[in-house]
Amino acid sequence: MNIHEKYIKRCIELAKNGLGATYPNPLVGSVIVYKNKIIGEGWHQKAGAPHAEVNAVNSVRDESLLKKSTIYVSLEPCSHFGKTPPCSDLIIAKGIKKVIIGTVDPFAEVAGRGIKKLMEAGCEVQVGILEKECQDLNKRFFTFHQKKQPYIILKWAQTADGFIAPKVQEKREPVWITNQYSKQLVHKWRSEEQAILVGTNTAIADNPKLNTRLWNGKNPVRVVIDKELKIPQESALFNGSIKTIVLTEYVKNSGDNLIFEKIDFQQDIVKQICEVLYRHNLQSVIIEGGAKTLQTFIDANLWDEARVFTGISEFHEGINAPQFSGIKLSETNLERDTLKNYKND
């Protein structure tokens, strides 16, 4: 690892602190180095707040050192006025002459303009340090702006004998397959993504809340497929506490925190769902079930990650877990549960 990679790696570490809080903005980290020593660092903490470069500059005790320093940033400094002024202007104003960037920003308002502005001001700019890692850091942001769809995460829990749910449920509540640590991890994941989606059968059988009650974080937007509007109105999904989008074949007036979106169930459902989520500026979504909904996304080959828990219990009969193929990235044990992470190959 060379010296530039060392400091961009630190930028990535810092940026991850903002996961779940910066939407619609990307995750960005920045460090300022003088004579091979970090004298300032920062990350973008939430949308509307100062960007990473601003926080890094503000953390430097002796501002006179900035003109002799190098600033590292995981993503191209912005060049436009949004909720905050352009970071490229700040770098130029502070007299920082050397800028090392992880990757170019795909957002149309930036997309190389920040780099161009810095170079025209006489800065020495180097781009593409740990580029793949910096793009992976913002896989949601890149997918949203380049593919015009959200980053899609499939998640389910299955029994040791391969079932996702029992054949019959006596009560309208989830039948838990995994332990408390796995459940808490799922709630952490929910706080990191912008939306969470379930199908009609899951909404009816489990009456899920789809919130982050086991983790301190922002609730994702709830999305539910309800073609014929069969889900009971007293369901937790319709309690008005969280923005909820209902995908249906009917035209129905929306209300506070409850939005009805009409789609054509005779056409490509998954593509239409992605279009609705994109229109609502949702950069990521966790598909939490049920089996039919998960398999629909798998069969359409519209998914990016799969996170699959396997518990120790057995149902002997029930609803089979989805069938898919992907590249396994990792395998982790949470007590006696097993978690396998895959990416779409």
* Residue 280 marked ligand-binding: no
Q: Which of 5, 13, 41, 53 is catalytic?
A: 53
What are the backbone dihedrals phi and psi of residue 83, each rounded to the nearest 5 degrees, phi first? -80, -15
* Residue 213 marked ligand-binding: yes
Q: Which residues in 217-249 are b (16+ Cβ under 10 Å) and which e?
A: bbbbbbbbbbeeeebeeebbbbeeebbbbbbbe
* Residue 61 marked ligand-binding: no
* Residue 87 marked ligand-binding: yes
**Residue pair 200/224 in contact by the 8 Å Cβ criterion:** yes
**Residue pair 242/224 in contact by the 8 Å Cβ criterion:** no
* Residue 279 marked ligand-binding: no
Max intra-chain CA distance, the chain: 71
Active-site residue 53, yes or no? yes
* Residue 306 marked ligand-binding: no
* Residue 288 marked ligand-binding: yes
* Residue 176 marked ligand-binding: yes
**What CA–CA distance (Å, rounded) separates 158 from 82?**
44
* Residue 21 marked ligand-binding: no
Q: H helices of 70-122, where?
A: 87-93, 113-120
**What CA–CA distance (Å, rounded) separates 263 from 273?**
8
Q: Which residues are annotated as a binding site for substrate?
A: 190, 206, 210, 213, 288
Binding site for NADP(+), by residue number, is 157, 176, 202
Active site residues: 53
Output the known binding site for Zn(2+). 51, 78, 87
